[in-house]
Each structure stands twice: as structure tokens, then as C-alpha cells.
């Protein structure tokens, strides 16, 4: 059996959570091993998509607004170091209905925390965005400083910077871990190839693979679901569906969101409602005819100028949902030095920098964990409350 030196921290999973955790830990001077079976932001990963929205509005959930604010600053700071435009300041438009409690609470939170925004009436929306047919939407919120992260490339750059600073990358899959019946410490873990990896602390930040690695503990608490994404082409020279004329947008009333035509890849449309259960290793990543038909129907209704738009690209990724959408950040109940980090629940990507900073501090410095992130709050019944 191959053995390795003892690292200060081993991070399992090189998606956005694991990448930023490893980045912050390494910047503190600790030795780090970063493991991923398929590679950073690979095609199976929840972080492996083309683009992700970063927005500040979270209803009354001030903790997530604060983390989004912190994360945007850290993303922008990091992108300056790599000199690559991986954040597009498209702005983010919320489409709301009369007395929409989530939107109303978002307004209060944005105002309380000093986040720039505009409140737009139906007339304002129609004047500013004539290419959009707003249907039942009666008003909106526009966040001018928010926008879109180029997800796959951004994660790969974070990982690259972490490795350049001295971390080790281990392209290995980890065997499932079963906890003892008593409180203990984990000295090492074993990969499927038989390699033994030793560390003082282990952080499992492997998204939809968490319930596979901890089946007894997380099988009913983390639920990977199948999510379909569509990219539609625009006519040559038609800039109505690209920034600055088109922002990223969210319509939680219809459970759908979209991203404008960025880098000439097409207009992205993605349902936000949870899909069926999905296996991140073995699941076929081909969209369904039903999903495509629903996307086209919505596209024709909301963006009439794209009614006949050709389908350029599709993607099947996954959410990894907790019972209510809150993140999971907690110690394993059987191991003092094992941390479980996941449950991005479809909204987690943007928070990678702040989450990584937070987890690194808990692991290296100690301190209590935010109660709503603890394992004890993760039920087995899906009652989504965070969007």
C-alpha cells in the first residue's frame, strides 16, 4: 500500500467549495492535499457548468446576503490576480408579483446591508426591457453590481493557484467511510486504488458524492437531483439578449432563471425546481424531450424574439439538496477531525469564497458552527426554504 506524508489538511472534492477551502487553508501556511476522482470542475461536478449567477437577494436570509457580498469581493480580488475576465457584471433582475414576500423581504435586507438596487415598476420593466414579455410579473428588483461567474474556468483557476502555492493534487477516488460507534480521530483514509493518505484534519466537500461516501449518515440527508440546462442561439447582430441590454434574471414564481448571451455561447435557460434523483457517477447526461419542450414554451412566452431560436447546447448537472436548502457545515459525529461540507442546494456556487474562508477558520482556529448549518438541522423530508 502506498503511503503519503501527513498533511495538515486533506480536502476531498475540487469543486467550488473544496477549491476555496483548500485555497484559504494553503494561504494560511498549512500543508494541503486536494483530492478529486475526476478533476477540478469536471463534467460530472455541480461546479462544472459554463456559468453561475451571483446575486445578493436572499429574502430575509441575511446570512446568505452577507456571504454573497463577501464572496463577490473575494471573487473579484482573485480574478485580478489571474488577469482573466471570469465575472461579467450583467446585473441581476428579479421578476416579482404583487405582494411577493420573498422579493419584499429581499428589498429590506438589501437596504439594511447597503447593497445597491433599484425597484422597478411594471412600466419601468417594459420600458427598459422591451424584448421581455413580463406576463404576470408586476414589478422587479435590479441589482446593478451582481452578475455571472464563469464557473468551470473560475474553479479551475482557484485550484491552479492553490497548487502553484504548494498544495498537492491527488487524482484519486476515496472509499466510503463508516464511523465507529465511539468518538475517535481519523488518522488516514484509503483511496480506491489502495493509497493511504494521512492528515491532521479531513474536509469532505464533495457535493453529490457525500451520501455515497457516508451512506449511513447522509443517504437520506443529501439528495442529488437531476437538473437540465439549455442554451439557445440568437440571430446574427441581435444584441437584445446580451449585456448590457439583457441582465441575468430570476423568476422564482415560475421556478426558472436565465443568463444572457455571454461569450457568444447562447442564452441560458434553466428550471430551478428540483428534478428527479440522480447518480453523479452513472447518470446519463442527456436532456429529456419534455424538459426541452417546457424550456421552449417558456422561452416563446417570455422572450418572443427567441421563439424560433435554435438549441445550441444542453447540459445535465445536479443539485445536492439538504432538506431546506441550508448548507451542511459540521464535524462528523464520530470523528473529531472530520468535517462534512456540502448541500449547495442549487444556490451554493456563488458562496464558494466566503464558505471556504469560514470553513478554513473553523478547522484551523476552532469556534462554534452556525446552528443552521449543523448536521442536526438536516432532516429527511424536502421542505425547501432557501432559494
pLDDT digits (tens, 9 = 90+) for 156-213: 999 999 999 999 999 999 999 877 766 789 999 999 999 999 999 999 999 999 999 9
Q: Is residue 58 included in any domain, yes or no? A: no
Please indicate whether residue 83 or residue 78 has the higher confidence score (pLDDT).
78
Q: What is the number of domains present in the chain?
A: 2
Domain boundary (256, 289, 317) is at 317
Q: Are residues 21 and 166 in the same domain?
A: yes
158/15 Cα distance (integer angstroms)? 10
Among 286, 317, 348, the domain-final residue is 317
Task: Let me know whether 135 and 229 are in one domain.
Answer: yes
Q: Using an 8 Å Cβ cutoff, are 253 and 289 in contact?
A: no
List phi, psi (to 5°) of 7: -85, 155
Domain co-membership, 311 together with 263 = yes
Residue 57 forms part of a structural domain: no
Domain boundary among 317, 351, 377: 317
Same domain, 141 and 229: yes
Rounded to 5 degrees, φ, ψ at 260 are -65, 175
Supply the pTM of this predicted model.
Answer: 0.96
Q: Please give the pLDDT value at position 266.
A: 98
Inform me whether the pLDDT recorded for 102 exceeds 80. Answer: yes
Q: What pLDDT was estimated at residue 181?
A: 63
Q: Quote the CA–CA distance of 337 and 189 in Å, as a whole number.
A: 12
Amino acid at each position: 500500500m502506498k503511503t503519503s506524508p501527513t498533511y495538515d489538511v486533506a480536502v476531498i472534492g475540487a469543486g467550488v467549495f473544496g477549491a476555496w477551502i483548500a485555497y484559504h487553508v494553503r494561504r494560511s501556511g498549512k500543508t494541503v492535499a486536494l483530492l478529486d476522482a475526476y478533476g477540478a470542475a469536471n463534467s460530472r461536478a455541480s461546479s462544472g457548468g459554463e456559468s453561475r449567477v451571483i446575486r445578493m437577494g436572499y429574502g430575509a436570509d441575511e446570512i446568505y446576503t452577507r456571504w454573497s457580498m463577501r464572496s463577490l469581493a473575494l471573487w473579484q480580488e482573485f480574478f485580478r490576480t489571474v488577469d482573466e475576465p471570469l465575472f461579467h457584471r450583467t446585473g441581476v433582475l428579479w421578476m416579482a408579483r404583487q405582494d411577493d414576500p420573498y422579493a419584499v423581504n429581499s428589498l429590506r435586507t438589501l437596504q439594511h446591508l447597503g447593497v445597491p438596487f433599484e425597484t422597478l415598476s411594471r412600466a419601468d420593466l417594459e420600458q427598459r426591457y422591451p424584448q421581455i414579455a413580463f406576463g404576470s410579473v408586476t414589478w422587479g428588483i435590479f441589482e446593478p453590481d451582481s452578475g455571472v461567474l464563469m464557473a468551470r474556468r473560475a474553479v479551475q483557476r482557484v485550484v491552479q493557484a492553490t497548487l502553484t502555492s504548494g498544495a498537492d493534487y491527488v487524482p484519486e477516488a476515496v472509499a466510503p467511510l463508516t464511523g465507529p460507534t465511539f468518538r475517535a480521530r481519523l488518522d488516514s483514509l484509503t483511496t480506491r486504488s489502495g493509497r493511504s493518505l494521512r492528515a491532521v484534519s479531513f474536509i469532505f466537500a464533495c457535493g453529490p458524492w457525500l451520501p455515497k461516501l457516508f451512506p449511513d449518515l447522509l443517504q437520506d440527508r443529501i439528495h442529488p437531483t437531476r437538473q437540465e440546462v439549455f442554451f439557445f442561439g440568437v440571430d446574427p447582430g441581435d444584441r437584445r439578449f446580451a449585456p448590457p441590454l439583457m441582465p441575468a434574471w430570476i423568476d422564482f414564481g415560475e421556478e426558472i432563471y436565465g443568463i444572457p448571451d455571454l461569450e457568444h455561447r447562447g442564452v441560458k435557460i434553466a428550471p430551478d425546481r428540483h428534478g428527479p434523483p440522480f447518480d453523479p457517477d452513472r447518470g446519463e447526461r442527456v436532456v429529456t424531450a419534455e424538459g426541452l419542450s417546457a424550456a421552449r414554451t417558456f422561452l416563446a412566452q417570455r422572450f418572443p424574439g427567441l421563439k424560433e431560436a435554435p438549441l445550441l447546447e444542453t447540459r445535465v448537472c445536479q443539485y445536492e439538496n439538504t432538506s431546506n436548502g441550508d448548507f451542511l457545515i459540521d464535524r462528523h459525529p464520530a470523528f473529531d477531525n472530520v468535517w462534512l461540507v456540502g448541500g449547495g442546494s442549487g444556490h451554493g456556487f456563488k458562496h464558494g469564497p466566503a464558505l471556504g474562508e469560514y470553513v478554513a477558520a473553523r478547522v484551523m482556529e476552532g469556534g462554534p458552527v452556525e446552528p443552521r448549518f449543523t448536521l442536526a438541522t438536516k432532516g429527511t423530508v424536502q421542505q425547501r426554504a432557501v432559494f
